[in-house]
Amino acid sequence: MEMSGDVVEDNHKTEESQPEEEEVPPQLLKGKKLSWQKLRRFDSLDIESSSVRGHHAHGSKTVAWTMILHLAFQSIGIVYGDIGTSPLYVFASTFPNGIQHNDDILGVLSIIFYTLTLIPLVKYVFIVLRANDNGDGGTFALYSLICRYAKVGLIPSQQAEDQEVSNFQLELPNNRLKRASWLKSKLENSQFAKFFLLFATMLGTSMVIGDGVLTPCISVLSAVGGIKEATSAMSDDMIVWISVAILVLLFSAQRFGTDKVGYTFAPIICIWFAFIGGIGIFNFLKFDTTVIKALNPQYIFDYFKRNKKEAWISLGGTVLSITGTEALFADVGHFTVKSIQISMCSVIYPALILAYAGQAAFLRKHSDLIRDPFFQSIPRSLYWPVFIIAVLAAIIASQAMISGSFSIIQQSLSLGCFPRVKIVHTSAKYEGQVYIPEINYLLMLACVGVTLGFRSTARIGNAYGIAVVFVMTLTSSFLVLIMIMIWKTHIVLIISYVLVIGTIELIYLSSVLYKFDQGGYLPLAFAAILMIIMYVWNDVHRSKYYYELDHKISPDKLKEVVTSTNLSQMPGLAIFYSELVQGIPPIFKHYVSNVPALHSVLVFVSIKSLPIGKVPTDERFLFCRMEPYELSVFRCVVRYGYTDVRNEQEPFENLLIERLKGFIADGEFWLSQNDLNKDDDSGEYLDEREVDGENNEHKDVKQVDEEKRQEAIDKEIEAVNQAWRAGVVHLIGENEVVAGKRASLARRIIIDYAYNFLKRNLRQSEKVFDIPHKRMLKVGMTYEL
């Protein structure tokens, strides 16, 4: 059933609106215990987290070392495929016009060595991973940390109770508070700063997804192209079509989940790193051990002195040595910080250094073979084994950014920055491993399109560099804010970070932007499309929230409506859904004006996302009883973190009602002391003690209180059970959103065309909460924004 209502124009300015002070029911003033009760909730998230005792992301217990080592092994197959296949094309991309001076090889090797050391190892493994949000990584994790510390969110849904969520609190040092407080105040009082932080977060998210498109293209093309060294019968067209077939198979395997894919891929990547490290040692010893001189950074200065502008342009090739580094952070939610650190320091970093040193030693003696130094430097007897492993490793390379794309889209979806898509939790053993069918399909189409369109690794490499450096630069910007406000790092260390890491990244950024017209525009085009989608959805999402906030029903109005003699009572339980946290949504008034009947139990459910990775399951539901207290009218706020997956084991309805009965069982929230001391027969209030019958035996008032309280509780729980048995109806707002009469042309395009197009083609609310269609009632209402 659908009802459409009168159009109400919304003339407020959403950016300037402030939440009204909500009238607080008397029972909320009696203390936390009497107002909002935390109740236990068991769902698939408990099943998953209990499988890993004290899992990294969401608890303070230490993860067993055997589990850390298992995750470290898994991470090799998921996280490092991209950065591990970079030796296939780095030197060839750095010297597209050949090697002009033999010492240029030492200069480039020195650049690669210090880039690998300072960016993936120092910055990400030892600094950025510390900025995880209870174990979750990525751009949105950094944004959520800032949102928790400073009120920079654009939707006014904050509640004091949010601070009581165990994962919400930040452990803050007590020194250097003045600088942190100053920056926090500036961010909170600047509307521009709030929008800019959100814009930067969306940009970083879009660039990571762009990486998920470009990584498979360049990795697979590079590896498959190596077969030209063995046979000249393989044409470029054949290589392209083989690459396309491989990409389609890879994306088809994603539905099996990160867990299975990781254990399948990890042995292959381990063999790959053993190959490139071993061949590197072989070439280093056979051709030129003097390349160890590249440890001296003087060769970098000499390289720039000799080549000047060409050296600066060549940085667009050397930066490809750190492609996929962002996956270290984006994918940390699939594993643990320690597991990433162990795998990087013990396997990945040494193997990469050896691989590049070996290629440099080979090129010192064979500078004319720069077109494909990787396959040229392989001993002939190992060519086919290495080629096969290289193709498999290139296939796996894309897995890192695909997994990262899934994780970061899940985060942005929960924070209202991405349209609704289906989130599939693929592992009952490890947290954070998700699969998004719609995104997987779109990424596959984009990869196939780029591969068929560009057809060469050179042009794709130009595009790839821009995406990589943009994300790194944004991560550094957020990290500096976190250092100042949250970690309260010493100013000398902050300045050192900016001067060293920041300078390196800005130099790389200036170099890759030089090749904008040679394919560099591609990631920016991807980012622009994604940001338009994210901005449209988030902008209308915020405007709808402010509309409901401005038109919410006050407690007095609610009391007037539910006690109206014009409304008939019918058995059953009605659940009204909305995202409004500060009161009763306007859709309720619209409902009763069209259907003059109310169920015996009413529950207004507000779905709320917190800027935190996970909300502990026993802290998810918050309840409050609404006036009039003699009727069964409740408000419930259901809180989720941005990596929480909606329950798939048990219907949301069952969970909600069980928690509601648990809240009622607390018993202290709705009977005043006078109510408890009131005599049922005479209606008079008892004094200190009550006379019990003719025997003149005294009964303690506290005992009477407890008996009356328990009797009332049992009666109320039975009323809920009766209503449940009579039937549950789920009322969802089917809101039609249109631009107001005074809206600008741009506003009309955003709301009437862009947003409504996205809404029509994506998942509906009832699918998110597994609401049965037979017991669902859609209440139509038009919002003019």
Angle ∠(507,508,513) on CA atoms, nearest 5? 105
Q: How confident is the model at residue 681 (pLDDT cuts 50, 70, 90)?
A: very low
Q: Quote the distance between the C-alpha of residue 256 and its chain's center.
A: 21
**Which of 501, 644, 614, 642 is CA-nearest to residue 128?**
501
What's the pLDDT tens digit per position in 182-204?
777 788 788 888 888 888 888 88
User: What pLDDT was estimated at residue 669?
Assistant: 52
Which range is least confidently modeled, 25-34, 61-70, 509-518? 25-34
Q: How confident is the model at residue 513 (pLDDT cuts 50, 70, 90)?
A: confident
User: What pLDDT was estimated at residue 514?
Assistant: 86
Is the pLDDT score of 325 beyond 50?
A: yes
Average pLDDT over residues 496-519: 89
User: What pLDDT was estimated at residue 165?
Assistant: 65
Average pLDDT over residues 128-153: 80
User: What pLDDT was estimated at residue 143?
Assistant: 84
Per the DSSP assignment, residues forming a β-bridge with 568 are: 597
| Complete DSSP assignment for 275-295 | HHHHHHHHHHHHH-GGGGGGG
Q: How confident is the model at residue 111 (pLDDT cuts 50, 70, 90)?
A: very high
How many Cα atoms sit within 13 Å of 86 on the Cβ side?
A: 27
Q: How confident is the model at residue 18 (pLDDT cuts 50, 70, 90)?
A: very low
Q: How confident is the model at residue 496 (pLDDT cuts 50, 70, 90)?
A: very high
Q: Which residue has the higher pLDDT, 225 or 169?
A: 225
User: What pLDDT was estimated at residue 28?
Assistant: 36
Q: Coil, strand, or helix at residue 66?
A: helix
Q: Which residue has the higher pLDDT, 682 or 436?
A: 436
Q: Which residue type, as a one-letter code, is found at position 236?
A: D
| Complete DSSP assignment for 550-576 | HTPBPHHHHHHHHT-TTSEEEEEEEEE
User: What pLDDT was estimated at residue 432?
Assistant: 55
Residue 780 φ/ψ, nearest 5 degrees: -80, 140
Q: How confident is the model at residue 355 (pLDDT cuts 50, 70, 90)?
A: very high
Q: What's the rounded Cα separation, in Å, for the pair 135 and 123?
A: 17
Which range is least confidently modeled, 127-131, 454-458, 695-699, 729-733? 695-699
Give the burial string for 655-671 (b: 16+ CB within 10 Å, else e): bbbbbbbbbbeebebbb
The angle that helices 258-287 and 349-365 make with each other, rounded to 10 degrees, is 40
User: What pLDDT was estimated at residue 6?
Assistant: 37
Average pLDDT over residues 760-769: 60
Q: How confident is the model at residue 505 (pLDDT cuts 50, 70, 90)?
A: very high
Average pLDDT over residues 278-298: 93
The DSSP secondary-structure symbol of 30 reads G
User: What pLDDT was estimated at residue 306?
Assistant: 92
What's the pLDDT tens digit per position in 551-602?
888 878 888 877 776 778 888 898 888 888 877 888 888 888 778 788 888 8
616 token code pair: 């502990």
**Which of 70, 202, 195, 57 is CA-nearest to residue 135?**
57
Q: What's the rounded Cα separation, in Å, for the pair 161 and 637?
A: 11
User: What pLDDT was estimated at residue 759?
Assistant: 79
Q: How confident is the model at residue 676 (pLDDT cuts 50, 70, 90)?
A: very low
Q: What percent of the chain has pLDDT over 90?
A: 16
Q: How confident is the model at residue 159 (pLDDT cuts 50, 70, 90)?
A: low
Which range is least confidently modeled, 181-195, 469-483, 524-538, 713-727? 181-195
Q: What's the rounded Cα separation, in Å, for the pair 45 and 52?
A: 11
Tokens 């139990």 correspond to 601
667 token code pair: 């018993």
Average pLDDT over residues 670-675: 44
Which range is least confidently modeled, 56-70, 110-124, 230-244, 388-402? 56-70
Which range is least confidently modeled, 105-109, 123-127, 162-166, 433-437? 162-166
Per the DSSP assignment, residues forming a β-bridge with 697 are: 692
Which range is least confidently modeled, 49-53, 67-71, 762-766? 49-53
* CB 323 within 8 Å of CB 464: yes
* Alpha-carbon dihedral sign for residues 72, 73, 78, 80: positive
632-640 and 621-625 beta bridge pairing: antiparallel
Q: Three-state secondary structure along 465-523?
A: HHHHHHHHHHHHHHHHHHHHHHHCCCHHHHHHHHHHHHHHHHHHHHHHHCCHHHCCHHH
What's the pLDDT tens digit per position in 517-542?
777 788 888 888 888 888 888 888 88
Q: How confident is the model at residue 24 (pLDDT cuts 50, 70, 90)?
A: very low
Is the pLDDT score of 670 beyond 70?
A: no
What's the pLDDT tens digit per position in 612-650?
777 877 788 888 888 777 778 888 888 887 777 665 555
User: What pLDDT was estimated at residue 333?
Assistant: 74
**How much is the mean pLDDT over the chain?**
76
Is the pLDDT score of 381 beyond 60?
A: yes
Q: What's the rounded Cα separation, in Å, for the pair 83 and 90?
A: 11
User: What pLDDT was estimated at residue 38?
Assistant: 37
User: What pLDDT was estimated at residue 188?
Assistant: 78
User: What pLDDT was estimated at residue 295?
Assistant: 94
Is the pLDDT score of 698 beyond 60?
A: no
| Complete DSSP assignment for 429-466 | SSTT-EE-HHHHHHHHHHHHHHHHHH-SHHHHHHHHHH
Is the pLDDT score of 727 beyond 90?
A: no
Average pLDDT over residues 67-85: 83
Q: What's the rounded Cα separation, in Å, for the pair 627 and 662?
A: 19
Q: What's the rounded Cα separation, in Å, for the pair 604 and 625?
A: 10
186 token code pair: 């500036």
User: What pLDDT was estimated at residue 315?
Assistant: 92
Cβ-based neighbours of 115, under 8 Å, separated by 6 or more? 318, 319, 321, 322, 504
Backbone torsion region of residue 683, taken as left when φ is above 0, otherwise alpha when ψ lies between -120 and 50, otherwise beta: left
User: What pLDDT was estimated at residue 9?
Assistant: 36
Is the pLDDT score of 451 beyond 60?
A: yes
Is the pLDDT score of 1 beyond 50?
A: no
Is the pLDDT score of 235 beyond 70?
A: yes
* CB 333 within 8 Å of CB 137: yes
Most confident of 172-181, 560-569, 656-665: 656-665
User: What pLDDT was estimated at residue 176?
Assistant: 59
User: What pLDDT was estimated at residue 173?
Assistant: 46
User: What pLDDT was estimated at residue 147?
Assistant: 80
294 token code pair: 């590249």
